[in-house]
Structure 1
Amino acid sequence: MSVPSDRQRFAWVTLEAQEIIELKQAIMDRDSHDVVDFFWRIILPRAQESAQKRGISLEDDKESNGRISG
């Protein structure tokens, strides 16, 4: 099934309780390095997997400063 490229599509990324605690702690500590690491380690791979299941192409270029196209 093909979807027009101008239509936005969304997917939820589910986090486990321990991951939520880890992310919240990094945010409370204002540790941007840990938050960025969490994004690349946890969120992006799950977003890519979810997108792949739905036939959405994502770029994971670190040059994009963490922005995901799609």
Structure 2
Amino acid sequence: MKFRILIEEDEDGVFAAECPSLPGCVSQGGTRNEALENIKDAIQGYMESLKKHDDPIPPSIQEEIIEIPL
């Protein structure tokens, strides 16, 4: 499965990552790449928990990028 993730750097230089389609699935890292690897682990754990509890897997969020002339 593919998931959209958001990564933002906070005021302390820590990178926070979240997966909007999996509520509460968040992680962080000292670098962008570390945050990316950590959120992958968090998503895997989230999915394992869903399966263990026979909960449905939320559908992926579809995303489009549009350009607005200024």
TM-score range, shorter chain: 0.3 to 0.5
TM-score (normalizing by structure 1): 0.36
More strand by share: 2
More helix by share: 1
**Structure with the larger RCO, 1 or 2 (CA within 8 Å, 6+ apart):** 1
